[in-house]
Amino acid sequence: MLAPRDTPTRERTSLNGLWRFALDPGAAGRGARWWAGPLPGEAEMPVPASFNDVIPDRAVRDHVGDVWYQRVVRVPRGWDGGRVVLRFDAATHRATAWIDDERVVEHEGGYTPFEADVTAHVRAGEEARITVVVNNVLSWTSIPPGYVQELDDGRRVQQYFHDFFNYAGLHRTVWLYATPPAYVEDVTVTTDLDGAYGLVAYRARVAGATGHAVRVAVREDGGGEVVARAEGAEGAVRIPGVRAWRPGEGNLYVLDVEVVDPAGEVVDSYPQTFGVRTVAIDGERFLINGEPFYFKGFGKHEDAALRGRGHDPVTMVHDFELLRWIGANSFRTSHYPYDEAVLDYADRHGVVVIDETAAVGLNLNVGGGILNQAEPLTTYSDETISSRTQAVHRQAIEELVARDKNHPCVVVWSIANEPDSIQPEARAYFEPLVAETRRLDPTRPVGFANFMLATPDRDVVSDLFDVLLLNRYYGWYAQTGDLDTAEQVLEAELREWARRARPIVMTEYGADTQPGLHSVTSDPWSEEFQTDLLAMYHRVFDRIEAVAGEQIWHFADFATRSGVSRVDGNKKGVFTRDRRPKAAAHALRRRWRGEA
Ligand code: GCB
């Protein structure tokens, strides 16, 4: 799905800013047609942001159900005769939108974009009222899953199986944009390297046109000379003396796609950014452009004070600068697709990304003390994770690939985090999803982040995948505080995985750490313990060839729901929530920058 762009034939306007806002605890709005007039109440809400922490009220923070957003916008005068589109970069977890009294779009899934052609519902130069109802309920047919518990006093409590706060709302930019009636609908670019040449295969889909031609030109990003041209909606070009995209070097090109009408006039143009690079797996080596790549970085979250999961360029750029400071070269978009601006930035700066769906918590056996699980449940059953969940999961994968397929930074699709991969039913659940991911994108390896109990002797799905992404907490959730035993257990397990002859990326390992807590005996929760635990893992990784990367859990402390093992959130950050370094950050910086 193409991102909105300003081009000679297109214009976009961001609808970010303050919107009217109404919580709907009684679920009255849909029946009372709240879209048909001004929303009740006086509240306003910034977009983008999670609504939860903006209003200091527990009823808002823990609200379960619908919230409403509304604003009036004047459609630019110059858009007469154009095709007008209303687009949401994300609405968590589902939304329905109206223009004035007309329902224009509905979407399931909280982290991928959706849009509606609203040409028939607006007039250039006139006002239009946009109303959106966003629903934050997690169910057995949502990704991520959850269920709502009805308490005796009538209150509803959202239960879920993942370890981060269920932030919701309009988390990303809302756009109104215009294209010509005949327009570029989609572009796919795949690349290869042949000596000094870059090989670029492209496919453009044009809509609203008959008898129109397509032509493309490739130039270096930033307005360089045209380096290749081709005719036709599908084709291939060669770039001589190509500057390949590589880790640390975000060399980008632009494929300018033009739609030309029968009279020879260019009616639409769309600049699709891409990088020329290859990704491959060779036994236990992970190759980018044919060279072994070792992942150094973190699992992250989109998480900050007040904003929750709302996209914020200040936090984004600062986080990338901290990655640079510490010497990281990569991160995983745990546990959902991030704002596309994050991938654009990673593309430009040569940061490598493992791109993950929001399929987190498909594991009802983790629960226990960590997640406050109310009752024991079986993961795969008709009442819990079923073929209906799988259909929504498949849709989430399709939307992720559709949005991110042209980003050179993305080198692995992670289609789930810590699902139950021990029960035999896991195989029937995952096999078609892996096949679908490969069908959608044959160019990137597919993985999933494997849960600690799914050791090589118990896991039933890892052979379906190209790369082993492992999350392990030896020394923390198991052998707590005993790093000597933890080291033995970790090494024994990794040596077992290494027999599978696939690259292993440790996508989570870490320890909750209270900043400022010190201990001469390196006790759990102290800054010394976090540093020592990470150093222990690194000793083991350095002894095992098949380990192709290390991504610590977590980049920064983040919000979770309350629980007896969560003191104001998850504290496994190497940085605090306000991005100050814990002692481990300095140790990592030495390792990753080779200064140790
Ligand atoms: C995990 C999960 C992650 C949690 C982490 C923890 O295995 O993948 O979402 O936050 O453990 O800190 O417990």
Each residue's pLDDT tens digit, 91-108 = 999 999 999 999 999 999
**How many helices and strands, by DSSP H and E, does the chain display?**
9, 30
Taking residue 224's Cβ as centre, other Cβ atoms within 10 Å add up to 11
Q: What is the mean pLDDT of the chain?
A: 96
Each residue's pLDDT tens digit, 51-81 = 999 999 999 999 999 999 999 999 999 999 9
Each residue's pLDDT tens digit, 259-268 = 999 999 999 9
Of residues 496, 499, 576, 584, the one with CA closest to residue 538: 584
Give the atom of ligand 1 at the shortest distance from the alpha carbon of 570.
12
Write the CB contacts of 87 (distance below 8 Å, at least 6 apart in sequence): 4, 113, 114, 115, 116, 174, 175, 176, 177
Residue 521, φ and ψ in degrees, nearest 5: -100, 15
What is the rounded CA–CA span in Å between residue 240 and residue 221?
16
321 has catalytic annotation: no
The alpha carbon torsion through 161, 167, 168, 174 (nearest 10 deg) reads -130
Q: What pLDDT, on a 0 to 100 scale, did the predictor assign at position 369?
A: 41
**Mean pLDDT in residue range 119-148:** 98
Q: Is 508 in the pocket of ligand 1 (CB under 6 A)?
A: yes
Of residues 428, 427, 474, the one with CA closest to residue 453: 474
Each residue's pLDDT tens digit, 3-50 = 999 999 999 999 999 999 999 999 999 999 999 999 999 999 999 999
The separation between the first and the last C-alpha atoms of the chain, rounded to the nearest angstrom, is 44
What is the rounded CA–CA span in Å between residue 537 and residue 543?
10
508 has catalytic annotation: yes
Q: What pLDDT, on a 0 to 100 scale, did the predictor assign at position 368?
A: 46
What is the rounded CA–CA span in Å between residue 204 and residue 214?
8
Q: Of 418, 487, 527, 550, which one is the catalytic site residue?
A: 418
What is the rounded CA–CA span in Å between residue 221 and residue 1?
20
Record the tokens describing residue 446, joined without a space.
Answer: 């597919």
Position 366 pLDDT exceeds 90: no
What is the rounded CA–CA span in Å between residue 22 and residue 25?
9
Q: What pLDDT, on a 0 to 100 scale, did the predictor assign at position 35?
A: 98
Q: Is 429 in the pocket of ligand 1 (CB under 6 A)?
A: no
Write the CB contacts of 1 (distance below 8 Å, at least 6 apart in sequence): 113, 115, 186, 399, 402, 403
**Mean pLDDT in residue range 369-382:** 71
User: Residue 418 C-alpha to ligand 1 middle, in angstroms?
Assistant: 9
Q: Is 417 in the pocket of ligand 1 (CB under 6 A)?
A: yes
**74 and 68 in contact (C-beta within 8 Å)?**
no
What is the rounded CA–CA span in Å between residue 416 and residue 334?
9
Query: Whole-prediction pTM value?
Result: 0.98
Position 377 pLDDT exceeds 90: no
Q: Is 441 in the pocket of ligand 1 (CB under 6 A)?
A: no
What is the rounded CA–CA span in Å between residue 209 and residue 560?
49
Q: What pLDDT, on a 0 to 100 scale, did the predictor assign at position 209?
A: 87
Angle between helices 340-349 and 387-404 (to 10 degrees): 50
Farthest-apart Cα atoms in the chain, separation: 79
Q: What pLDDT, on a 0 to 100 scale, did the predictor assign at position 367?
A: 55
Q: What pLDDT, on a 0 to 100 scale, did the predictor assign at position 121?
A: 98
Q: What pLDDT, on a 0 to 100 scale, did the predictor assign at position 440?
A: 98
- Ligand 1, from 163, 421, 474, 577: best to mutate by most atoms within 8 Å of Cβ? 163
> If you count them, how many residues does the chain have?
596
What is the rounded CA–CA span in Å between residue 70 and residue 63?
19
**Mean pLDDT in residue range 389-399:** 98
List 198's β-bridge partners, or say none. Answer: 193, 239
Q: Quickly list DSSP for 423-487.
A: STHHHHHHHHHHHHHHHH-TTS-EEEEEPTT--TTT-SSGGGSSSEEEE--BTTTBSTT-HHHHH
Q: Is 50 in the pocket of ligand 1 (CB under 6 A)?
A: no
